Amino acid sequence: MSRPVPAVFGSVFHAQMPVTAYKNQAWQPVEWQPSQTLALPPGAHALHYGSECFEGLKAFRQAGGKTVLFRPEANIARMRQSAQILRLPQPDAAIFRDMLLQLVRRAADEIPDAPAALYLRPTLIGTDPVIGKAGAPSDTALLYILASPVGDYFKAGSPVKILVETEHIRCAPHMGRVKCGGNYASAMPWVLKAKAEHGANQVLFCPNGDVQETGASNFILIKDNELITKPLTDEFLHGITRDSVLTVARDAGYTISERNFTVAELQEAVENGAEAILTGTAAVISPVTSFVIGGREIPVQNTERGYALRKALTDIQYGHSEDKHGWLVEVC
Ligand SMILES: *Cc1c(COP(=O)(O)O)cnc(C)c1O
């Protein structure tokens, strides 16, 4: 069953979406609605006070014909944590999981041939239609999930130029691990400036020299046999791909160092042959090809380890190698 891959990531959606409303202190039965529009009161809390968070995960159709979800429990747990920090009602884990599985079953036929996937976008929004609630949480909410067939947008060999930003932060430090739209809005001025002034694809946020993450992906330095990445703090997003890459690398015999490191250490390592990768659900792993540090472009000489780790992880996702860590949930 061959289907064309949409040209733009996340631009085509399965016709329907599961929706559940939270009201009267309870999650209501799931309803299936057209995914083209969503009726909301214009005063909805999310639209005024940013009570919104989201998730991103993928389902894969494997060579044998099975369709699997990759680590859905991790995304469910992370959205529950985002909700708690934003004072939104926490989705019920079992209902949420069931919505995901049912949606994948309904949309499975729309997954393009490998290497492609079904990208799932759970979204949680506060819906109280009261604009006087600037300083109070929303008592009502909606959880819905979009499904979007996506290709492998990763293009081997295409440039990934990263501006190293040491003055500005991506978002407020206590919000870093919350997967919310507000953090993306907060990073936008620096991301656009990096593009306009340096032709950079992304910004690596390193406040006071502390290497954290980019606007939408985690960052890992690969120095000989060692993967170096910042330990989990509130300041940045705890990526599921980050965790999966560290695990796959540990299995492959790498030393994993979750520790703070500075731009100076990063620069020295890269000038001496180290690799650097970005990790996230959409592209899995993108090897960095150059950094702009203090106005100077520094090429990254090597990308082989990054490619090999990418293959190790996607091989598990597509069923070409053993799922040793129990990451896959068979859906249909
Ligand atoms: C979603 C996201 C990531 C990557 O998380 P994954 O779970 O690996 O997809 C990294 N940084 C930010 C800011 C994100 O929003």
Residue 228: closest CA among 268, 257, 262, 264: 257
> Cα separation of 81 and 109, whole Å?
32
- DSSP for 307-320, please give it: HHHHHHHHHHHTTS
| Probe residue for ligand 1, chosen from 237, 244, 245, 309 as the CB with the greatest number of ligand atoms within 8 Å | 237
Could you give the percent of the chain with pLDDT greater than 70?
Answer: 99
78 and 168 inside one domain:
no
Average pLDDT over residues 163-188: 98
Q: Are residues 130 and 181 in the same domain?
A: no
**Same domain assignment for residues 168 and 300:** yes
Q: Which of 108, 124, 150 is the C-terminal boundary of a domain?
A: 150
Domain shared by 248 and 141, yes or no? no
pLDDT at residue 7 tops 80? yes
Do both 134 and 261 map to the same domain? no
Residue nearest to atom 15 of ligand 1 (CA): 216
Q: Which is nearest to 122 in space by CA: 95, 84, 154?
A: 95
Are 170 and 286 members of one domain? yes
User: For residue 112, what is the DSSP state?
Assistant: P
Cα 168 to Cα 148: distance, rounded to the nearest angstrom: 33
**Residue pair 120/56 in contact by the 8 Å Cβ criterion:** yes
The count of domains in the chain is 2
- The number of the ligand 1 atom at minimal distance from the alpha carbon of 57 is 9
| Whether residue 278 is found in the same domain as residue 182 | yes
pLDDT at 1: 52
- Return the DSSP state at 29: P
| Domain-located, residue 236 | yes
Residues 47-60: pLDDT tens digits?
999 999 999 999 99
Which of 120, 150, 180 is where one domain is finished? 150
Mapped to the 3 state alphabet, what secondary structure does 201-240 carry? CEEEECHHHECCEECCCEEEEEECCEEEECCCCCCCCCCH
Same domain, 103 and 42: yes
Strands 202-205 and 161-165: parallel
Compute the distance between CA of residue 213 and CA of residue 225 in angstroms, rounded to an integer. Answer: 21
Residues belonging to the chain: 332
CATH code: domain of residue 59: 3.30.470.10
Ligand 1 proximal residues by C-beta, below 6 Å:
56, 179, 213, 216-218, 237, 239-242, 279-281
Range in 60-74, 84-98, 142-156, 236-250 the model is least confident about: 142-156
* Residue 123 domain-assigned (yes or no): yes
Q: Does residue 183 share a domain with residue 146?
A: no
Q: Kindly state whether residue 296 falls inside one of the protein's structural domains.
A: yes
109 and 173 within one domain: no
> Which range, of 9-13, 213-217, 223-227, 258-262, averages the lowest pLDDT?
9-13
**Which atom of ligand 1 is least distant from the CA of 176?**
13
pLDDT digits (tens, 9 = 90+) for 193-216: 999 999 999 999 999 999 999 999
Average pLDDT in the 230-247 region? 98
State whether 112 and 197 are in the same domain: no
Using CB atoms within 10 Å of the CB of residue 46, give its burial: 0 to 12 exposed, 13 to 18 middle, 19+ buried: buried
Q: Which of 109, 124, 150 is where one domain is finished?
A: 150
pLDDT of residue 298: 98
Together in a domain, 131 and 167: no
pTM to 2 decimal places: 0.98
Give tens-digit pLDDT for 73-95.
999 999 999 999 999 999 999 99
For 163, the token pair is: 């501006």
Q: How far is the CA of 218 from the centre of ligand 1 (A)?
A: 6
What digits encode the pLDDT tens for the residues 286-329? 999 999 999 999 999 999 999 999 999 999 999 999 999 999 99
* pLDDT on residue 6: 87
Whether 63 shows a pLDDT value over 90: the answer reads no
Q: Which domain holds residue 296?
A: 161-318
